[in-house]
Amino acid sequence: MESAKKTVGNNIETANASWNFGGSVPKHFDDHVSKSVPLYYEGHDIIIKLTDFFLSDNSVVYDIGSSTGALLNKIAVHNKAKKIQLVGIDVEPAMTEFAQKTHASIPNIEFITGDVLDVDMKKSDLIIAYFTVQFMQPRVRQMAIDKIYQSLNWGGAFIYFEKVRAPDARFQDIMSSLYVDYKLDQGYKPEEVLMKARSLKGVLEPFSSQGNMDMLKRAGFVDMMTVMKYVSFEGFLAIK
């Protein structure tokens, strides 16, 4: 069975069904993900603007799957006039270490290595999961969303971006083809696109838009809407 690592672009190498965020990935992550996820930085911009509606002095913000910490940095800068606490949670130690070093000059950001299900979370006004839940095992996702709902203050928000599956096979074929075209347009080679897809087998498991909405409802959320969508990538806003 083939196990040799091959490039997926941006100096990142991985093997079949073995994608992870450790090793050299943190160093190249922002460049790679911004070319792999349509409107990646536009999604950041929407989230930053949404913080105006939910954050005030003494607010706590969690970013689940905080990766390099780039989004929390932007939120800190945007809200520099407010006394807020920002906490990034990531299961990958290499990501947490990279984020801590990169953003050490910002005193109100903290990065924790751990699983959201195991971390003791304070009551918060905003929780973000930016293309994170899709990498959790399906069997624990509802528990994670339940914990997020319980951790929010009344009136707090959960901003939830995910890659989503289409409602049926015909639409899924269309969405998948459009996404391949998108990655080729970003300059990735066909073999890199194929290798990335192979590396994500069993690692990235998207739910449909309705499946994600259903999880939010089961957790207790009533007020929900889509704030951004590009083919198979969607951002949700849910308010407790």
Using only the alpha carbons of the chain, give its radius of gyration. 18
190 is a domain residue: yes
- Token readout for 237 is 């806003």
- The answer to whether the beta carbons of residues 124 and 151 sit under 8 Å apart is yes
Average pLDDT over residues 166-190: 94
Q: Output the CA torsion 23→230→48→184 (10° steps).
A: 40
pTM: 0.91
CATH number for the domain harbouring residue 19 = 3.40.50.150
User: How many structural domains is the chain composed of?
Assistant: 1
65 is a domain residue: yes
- Token readout for 53 is 């509606």
Average pLDDT over residues 70-90: 97
DSSP 3-state of 154 = strand
DSSP 3-state of 101 = helix
1 is a domain residue: no
**12-67, pLDDT tens digit by residue?**
455 565 445 556 667 777 888 888 899 999 999 999 999 999 999 999 999 999 99
194 is a domain residue: yes
Strands (E), 131-171: 152-165
How far is Cα 24 from Cα 156, in angstroms, rounded to an integer? 36
Report in angstroms the alpha-carbon separations of 11 from 24, 160, 172: 9, 29, 29
> Between these two residues, 200 and 143, which has the higher pLDDT value?
143
Statement: residue 168 has pLDDT above 90: yes
Give me the domain span that covers residue 182: 6-239
